[in-house]
């Protein structure tokens, strides 16, 4: 069974009973039925305000529910238990890897229907926010990164899976190092613009025919060690800054690099860069480092290094 298939109740019962014996479900096989979602009003965030829409009760397509004998209520969308309501009233969420619009809508409706003041929304990935008691969204919604296995308490608490908590700490530590390094970049450029030269880091300075730096060709398990070393050593060089400009949103990055650095015809600085040039360079370097060091594959590789 996969997304895009319309499931009957009989098919859903057959799939569920493969993993869970009938005596573990209240009502047995007959206790598995199509979920009826949607009633009252729902609130969504659009632009800078909450918008209320009327939701009519309906039998949700491909969504089924049953209750285990221990009191755990399960809502299943296709082959995934998307919301598991624990006996203490908390909810554990899971997408099974299908982070689709419909999956998000199903989870949001179940949370709203069961009185849990959380809603999912998309903003550079899936995020969670807490809603007000009346269901409306606050003017400045709280943004919590979503992860499969996250547990939402009725008291408003949020518990991330252990592996996600470890990755979040790594992400936070790395971002703090990136911010510290960004300040060093600014201090260095105030003394004079840097251009690439033969003494720069080879992994940053050497590129292939398509302009990809050697450091980006290495195995992902390397976790961009050379960039982390640059931050630890306080090593700021022209090749790194130029690479950041190459990934900037410019029609011609060479022109932007030359203008900001006030370069002459030979590619050498004619004077000190101004405040705006330094600020742009710092922003580009920060984005360049975050793209590589805060990437999920990099964080996964780093977490394995910590474990070992």
Task: Write down the pLDDT at residue 42.
Answer: 46
Instruction: List the structure tokens of 186.
Output: 């600014």
**β-pair type (58-67, 118-122):** unpaired
Alpha-carbon gap, residue 111 to 89, rounded angstroms:
11
Task: Write down the pLDDT at residue 2.
Answer: 44
CA dihedral 277, 278, 282, 285 (to 10 degrees): 60
Q: What is the overall mean pLDDT for the chain?
A: 83
Confidence of residue 41 (pLDDT cuts 50, 70, 90): very low
Confidence of residue 281 (pLDDT cuts 50, 70, 90): very high
Contacts of 168 (CB under 8 A, 6+ apart): 145, 160
Q: Which of 17-21, 162-166, 235-239 has the lowest mean pLDDT?
A: 162-166
Contacts of 136 (CB under 8 A, 6+ apart): 43, 50, 52
Contacts of 243 (CB under 8 A, 6+ apart): 204, 213, 288
Q: Which of 54-58, 64-68, 215-219 has the lowest mean pLDDT?
A: 54-58
Alpha-carbon gap, residue 91 to 281, rounded angstroms:
45
Alpha-carbon gap, residue 107 to 103, rounded angstroms:
6
Distance of alpha carbon 198 from the chain centroid: 37
Task: Write down the pLDDT at residue 39.
Answer: 47
For 98-121, how does the pLDDT look when each residue is reduced to its tens digit (9 = 90+)?
Answer: 888 888 988 988 998 888 888 888
Confidence check: pLDDT of 254 > 70: yes
Query: How many residues are present in the chain?
Result: 308
Q: Which of 71-80, 153-162, 220-229, 273-282 has the lowest mean pLDDT?
A: 220-229
* Spatial contact of 15 and 79, defined as CB atoms under 8 Å apart: yes
For 23-39, how does the pLDDT look when each residue is reduced to its tens digit (9 = 90+)?
Answer: 888 988 888 888 776 54
Alpha-carbon gap, residue 190 to 20, rounded angstroms:
66
Average pLDDT over residues 208-225: 77
Closest CA to 269 of 194, 212, 205, 172: 194
């Amino acid at each position: 069974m996969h997304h895009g298939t319309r499931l009957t109740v009989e098919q859903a019962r057959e799939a569920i009973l493969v993993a869970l014996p009938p005596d573990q479900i209240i009502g047995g096989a007959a206790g598995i039925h199509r979920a009826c979602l949607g009633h009252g009003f729902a609130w969504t965030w659009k632009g800078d305000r909450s918008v209320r829409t009327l939701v009519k009760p309906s039998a949700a397509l491909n969504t089924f529910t049953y209750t285990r004998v221990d009191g755990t209520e399960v809502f299943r969308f296709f082959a995934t238990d998307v919301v598991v309501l624990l006996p203490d009233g908390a909810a554990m969420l899971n997408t099974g890897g299908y982070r689709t619009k419909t999956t998000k809508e199903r989870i949001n409706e179940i949370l709203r229907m069961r009185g849990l003041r959380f809603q999912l929304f998309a903003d550079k990935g899936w995020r969670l926010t807490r809603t007000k008691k009346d269901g409306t969204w606050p003017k400045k919604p709280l943004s919590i990164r979503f992860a499969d296995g996250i547990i939402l308490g009725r008291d408003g608490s949020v518990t991330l899976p252990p592996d996600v908590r470890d990755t979040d700490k790594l992400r936070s530590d790395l971002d703090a190092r990136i911010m510290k390094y960004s300040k060093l970049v600014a201090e260095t450029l105030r003394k004079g613009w840097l251009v690439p030269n033969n003494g720069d880091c080879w992994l940053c300075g050497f590129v292939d025919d398509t302009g990809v730096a050697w450091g980006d060709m290495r195995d992902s398990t390397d976790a961009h060690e050379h960039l982390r070393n640059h931050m630890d050593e306080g090593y700021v060089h022209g090749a790194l800054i130029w690479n950041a400009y190459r990934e900037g949103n410019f029609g011609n990055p060479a022109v932007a690099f030359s203008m900001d650095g006030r370069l002459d015809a030979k590619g050498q600085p004619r004077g000190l860069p101004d405040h705006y040039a330094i600020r742009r360079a710092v922003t580009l370097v920060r984005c360049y480092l975050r793209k590589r060091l805060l990437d999920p594959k990099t964080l996964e590789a780093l977490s394995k290094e910590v474990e070992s």
